[in-house]
Amino acid sequence: MSNVRCAWVLCAAALLVSGAVTACRSSSAKASNSAAGFQPEPDVTFKNLEGADVSLSSLKGKVVLVNFWATWCDPCRSEIPALIGLQDKFESKGFTMLGASMDEDGVKAVDPFIHTTQFNVGGHQRTMDYPIVLGTDAITDKFGGLLGMPTSYLISRDGKIVKKYIGVVDEQQVIKDVESQL
């Protein structure tokens, strides 16, 4: 190959590479919206407080925030008003909360709690009126293990885990994150 031709080949290769990099960069913002490359949601089925099955897959088509919490967990309690607010704001747009309680006493602890404990949401006293289910260690293992609570997972409409929150969620950030998926 002549030197000139070699140079053209190298130039073309460089252009191809830079073009590919540019394409990757421009698609990365879309990747987070389309959840491409994110881990698929685990294949788990919860029990609700009536004992009925609630599979995560049955919620496909909705944006879901799975929140692992417990009645004895003060940080968990502190974020509940924000989570009630999320349900209020986005339910009609295809979003749902799924509050998965890790209370050892199960329904016995959770049922009275969700019906009687009041939270201040925008100046109004509200109960936890979003869907509540019971979590188990087997379920949290499928999410990769649960070291602390609260821990929440934002799941896209097509069933990909797009974000994990450990600890109390930042209300403004989680609103932006949910909106980005709707």
Partner 1 sequence: MPQSAASVVKTNVYTSLDPVPRGKEFQVAVVVNIASGYHMNSHKPNDSYLIPTTLTPQLPAGITLVDTIYPAGKNLTFPFSPDKPLNVYTQSVTLRVKLTAGDAAALGDTSIPVTLRYQACNNSACLPPVKVPVNAAIKVAAADAKAKPMHPEIFAASSAK
Residues that bind partner 1 (CB under 8 A): 70-76, 78-79, 102, 104, 113, 147-151, 166-168
Cis bond before residue 131 (omega within 30° of 0): no
Shortest Å, Cβ 75 to partner 1: 4
Count Cβ atoms below 10 Å from residue 17 Cβ, excluding itself: 10
CA angle 48, 141, 136 (to 5 degrees): 30
Shortest Å, Cβ 175 to partner 1: 19
Shortest Å, Cβ 78 to partner 1: 4
Quick one: 79 or 177, whose CB is closer to partner 1?
79
In angstroms and rounded to an integer, the radius of gyration of the C-alpha atoms of the chain is: 22
Quick one: 94 or 148, whose CB is closer to partner 1?
148
Shortest Å, Cβ 32 to partner 1: 22
Quick one: 103 or 158, whose CB is closer to partner 1?
103
Quick one: 133 or 149, whose CB is closer to partner 1?
149
Quick one: 94 or 167, whose CB is closer to partner 1?
167
Quick one: 152 or 156, whose CB is closer to partner 1?
152
CA angle 82, 139, 79 (to 5 degrees): 10
The closest of 151, 165, 62, 70 to 109, measured between CA atoms, is 70
Calculate the alpha carbon distances from 36 to 17, 152, 167, 171 in Å: 22, 20, 25, 25
Q: Which is it for the CA torsion 103, 104, 109, 111, positive or negative?
A: positive
User: Coil, strand, or helix at residue 46?
Assistant: strand
Shortest Å, Cβ 73 to partner 1: 4
Shortest Å, Cβ 77 to partner 1: 8
